[in-house]
């Protein structure tokens, strides 16, 4: 068996290993995103009273905002999770860490409904702390997956170290901002949405650090090609 055949077999087996994890994760994430809609209740005709239907819809604005925020979080988490496993070749104990990530995602419908129900009421702070605590659990477990893989030899051995470090830095922003949001919520729940919005802004913009590292890696390869003996 040639070296090329052995290498191709190793790559195929590695892809199967991570594919099984992603095939398990994707439905859980999709179901969690779908369950969010069950907390959106259309205003019933008999409960409108003197209000118009538009007034009734606006009266439930907290549910709509909470749904939008959590749906975006789950969507971004899914995209980031998928992107991360482009670099991971084997799983091992990542399977266990990934369960904590999925647990936090599965709890999103509960924490979202809790925050929507209590926002603007006496227990809004408690509801916000639960909400941010679950977000923090998701982002910390996500980072744990990446750090375990990056430092445990589970990533692609050809991954440029600068790209690996850039991704590690980029991933660390989410738990940092979630922790800030949780602390701010102790003082002011409305203001806590500022650091939360920065998380969404950061991960919906082009991946600046990854692009920078990839560019540096290409420049290094070109330099090696120029310096190689003819």
One digit per residue, the tens of pLDDT, for the chain of length 230 reads 444 443 344 444 445 578 888 899 999 999 999 999 988 887 777 777 777 888 878 888 888 988 999 999 999 999 999 989 988 888 877 889 999 999 999 999 999 999 999 998 999 999 999 999 999 999 999 999 999 999 888 888 888 788 888 888 889 999 999 999 999 999 999 999 999 999 888 877 666 666 666 666 666 666 655 555 55
Which positions ≥6 away from 68 have C-beta within 8 Å?
none
Measured CA to CA in angstroms, residue 191 lies from 60, 70, 197, 204 at distances of 20, 17, 10, 21
d(CA 77, CA 143): 11
| Global pTM value | 0.81
pLDDT on residue 1: 47
pLDDT on residue 136: 97
pLDDT on residue 9: 43
Instruction: Please choose, from the candidates 65, 142, 148, the residue with its C-alpha nearest in 3D space to the C-alpha of residue 104.
Output: 142
d(CA 116, CA 88): 37
d(CA 192, CA 49): 34
pLDDT on residue 230: 53
Tokens of 68: 């939008």
DSSP run (H or E) holding 48 = helix 45-48
pLDDT on residue 5: 43
Q: Residue-wise over 141-169: b if at least 16 C-beta within 10 A, else e?
A: bbbbbbebbbeeebbeeebbebbbebbee
State the CB neighbour count (10 A cutoff) for residue 120.
Answer: 8
Name the one residue in this structure whose structure tokens are 């070109």: 222
pLDDT on residue 131: 96
pLDDT on residue 215: 66
State the CB neighbour count (10 A cutoff) for residue 44.
Answer: 8
Helices (H) and strands (E) in the chain, counts: 10, 0
Contact at 8 Å (CB) between 130 and 111? Answer: yes
């Amino acid at each position: 068996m040639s070296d090329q055949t052995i290498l191709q077999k190793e790559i195929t087996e590695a892809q199967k290993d991570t594919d099984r994890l992603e095939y398990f994760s994707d439905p859980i994430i999709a179901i969690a995103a779908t369950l969010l809609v069950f907390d959106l209740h259309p205003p019933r005709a008999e409960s409108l009273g003197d209000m118009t239907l538009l007034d009734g819809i606006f009266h439930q604005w907290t549910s709509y905002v909470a749904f939008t925020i959590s749906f975006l979080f789950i969507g971004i988490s899914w995209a980031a999770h998928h992107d991360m496993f482009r670099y991971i070749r084997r799983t091992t104990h990542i399977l266990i860490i990934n369960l904590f990530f999925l647990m936090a995602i599965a709890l999103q419908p509960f924490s979202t409904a809790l925050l929507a129900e209590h926002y603007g009421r006496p227990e809004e702070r408690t509801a916000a702390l639960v909400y941010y605590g679950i977000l923090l659990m998701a982002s910390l477990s996500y980072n744990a997956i990446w750090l375990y893989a990056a430092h445990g030899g589970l990533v692609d051995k050809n991954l440029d170290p600068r790209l690996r470090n850039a991704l590690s830095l980029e991933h660390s922003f989410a738990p940092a901002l979630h922790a800030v949001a949780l602390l701010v919520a102790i003082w002011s729940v409305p203001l806590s949405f500022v650091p939360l919005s920065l998380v969404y802004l950061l991960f919906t913009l082009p991946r600046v650090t990854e692009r920078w590292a990839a560019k540096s890696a290409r420049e290094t390869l070109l330099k090696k090609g120029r310096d190689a003996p003819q």
